[in-house]
Every structure is written in C-alpha cells, then in structure tokens.
C-alpha cells in the first residue's frame, strides 16, 4: 500500500525548515532512520541538502542526497524513505524525467516506500504538474508526473479576497481554466496544510479545497485520520465531477 505525506509549504513564518510539521513527519516515517533526499527543485544542491540534513537531524534521521549517489536508480531501489523537496516544480520534474526515475520511484512507492513531498515535491506526486504556481524556467519532456495520487495539487492555495481591488487572475480562476481543458480534480492546499492519501490527512486550521470539474467542495478541518485511506474514498475523487458532496466524507 502506498504511503504519502504531501505538504503545501516546508517553512512556516518564524520557524525553521520543516519545524512546524516535524511531529507529523516523525509519525509518518515510522522509525525510518535514513531518508533519501531529492533536491533537484533548487539550483544549489549542496546547500539544499545541508538544510534538509539539519532538519532531519532534529528528529533523529539522516539524509542522503540523491545528487551525490553514483547511480540514481540504485539509490532509489535501496531507499528506506524518500523526501522530495520544494522549489521550482518544472525543473524538478524535468530532472526526474531525464534521469529515468519516474518509473522506479512510482514502483517503490506503490510497494510501500514512504514518500514525503513538500510544495514542488507534492506537485510531482500528482497526475501532472499543470496546476503548479511555478514559472516554466525549463522545458520538461512531459508535464506528466509520478501519478501517485489520482488528482492534482495547487500548493499555497490563496482564497479570493472579496475586498481586493487587484484585477488579476485568482487561483480559483486559474484552476477553473485548468478544468476547461482537463478533468482531474485539484486539491488546493493552503499554506500549513498537509495530507497523506494512504494513511491520514491534516489540513491545518483553515482546511483545504477539493476542486472537481465545474464544482467546488470545501473540506472542513479537521479531517479524520482515515479520510484518504481507502480505495472507496479515492474512487469518489475520481468521480468528484458527479457529486456535490465532499469527496473525503
């Protein structure tokens, strides 16, 4: 069974990297002491690996960064758990495609390897990265992602401000444009939100949105720890366009 913890943002205001959610990470890893880190969403790989290493040392785990591995595929095959960090989602997906890691990561996760994603790392766990907020600073071979969950994510989701005089596009409008051309549901994760599609989900104090084609459903906080666990609930996500009910209830 797949185990994923997908986080909207890695840092909360005033806190250290991953500090605000380190309790959930400890519970999620279930004793895994060595975590393989994928830093390819940022340019400074060594600096990013050092930052992640400090965060995981606080919880008693050790980081091995994949960019230092002699063979990327062997590193994936031998990993106890995987952490894919945030940054530019397009650059991250490009590297995953060009290193040939889409298939081995997907297979290992489906076989039970824990997958922890933050921001861009949560985006690439989805069907595609078409709902990322990031600039396409590089051209990936495909926008198709790992497909570990049957929906897309929009991290750092911001609600429309009815009192704003800004006339630009809102996140809601951009997601509606996505649904003019695409069918998959979109989970809008507000900052501070996180969810585990096979295990537990905790959306943070303000909840998150599940966006089906032509329909919006508010997911109320807190979500029960089993809400994304069973196949029946995931099936509701796949058919969310035919229901006005919250697909996580």
Please state, in angstroms and rounded to a whole number, the distance separating the CA atoms of residues 101 and 41.
15
Based on the residue annotation, tell me whether 134 is a catalytic residue of this protein. yes
Q: What angle do CA 157, 158, 162 make, to 5 degrees?
A: 150
Catalytically annotated residue among 64, 97, 144, 156: 156
Domains and CATH numbers, the chain: 4-242 (3.40.50.880)
Phi then psi for residue 194, to 5 deg, are -155, 155
For residue 156, indicate whether it is catalytic.
Answer: yes
Q: pLDDT higher for 155 or 208?
A: 155
119 is catalytic: yes
What whole-number distance in Å separates Cα of residue 97 and Cα of residue 60?
Answer: 31
Which member of 61, 65, 119, 128 is catalytic? Answer: 119
Give the pLDDT confidence of 40-73 residue by residue, as tens digits: 999 999 999 999 999 999 999 999 999 999 999 9
Of the listed 2, 94, 128, 134, which one is catalytic?
Answer: 134
Whole-prediction pTM: 0.80
- Name the H helices within the chain: 22-29, 45-57, 72-77, 89-98, 102-110, 120-123, 171-181, 231-238
Judge whether residue 222 has pLDDT over 80. Answer: no
pLDDT in tens, 173-186: 888 888 889 888 88
């Amino acid at each position: 069974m797949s185990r994923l913890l997908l986080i909207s943002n890695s840092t909360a205001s005033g806190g250290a990297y991953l500090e605000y959610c380190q309790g959930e990470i400890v519970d999620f890893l279930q004793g895994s002491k060595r975590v393989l880190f994928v830093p390819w969403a940022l340019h400074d790989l060594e600096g990013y690996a050092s930052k992640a290493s400090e965060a995981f040392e606080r919880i008693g785990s050790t980081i091995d960064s994949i960019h230092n591995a002699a063979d990327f595929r062997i590193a994936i095959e031998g990993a106890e758990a995987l952490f894919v960090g945030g940054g530019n989602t397009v650059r991250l997906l490009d590297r995953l495609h060009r290193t040939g890691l889409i298939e081995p990561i997907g297979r290992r996760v489906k076989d039970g390897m824990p997958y922890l994603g933050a921001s861009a790392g949560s985006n690439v766990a989805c069907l595609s990265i078409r709902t990322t907020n990031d600039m396409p600073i590089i051209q990936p071979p495909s926008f198709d992602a790992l497909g570990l969950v049957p929906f897309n994510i929009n991290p750092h989701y911001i609600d429309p401000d009815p009192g704003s005089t800004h006339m630009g596009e809102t996140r809601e409008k951009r997601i509606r444009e996505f649904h003019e051309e695409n069918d998959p549901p979109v989970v809008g994760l507000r900052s501070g939100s996180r969810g585990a599609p096979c295990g537990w989900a905790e959306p943070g104090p303000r909840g998150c949105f599940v966006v089906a084609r032509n329909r919006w459903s508010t997911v109320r906080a807190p979500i029960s720890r089993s809400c994304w666990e069973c196949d029946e609930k995931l099936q509701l996500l796949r058919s969310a366009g035919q229901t006005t009910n919250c697909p996580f209830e």
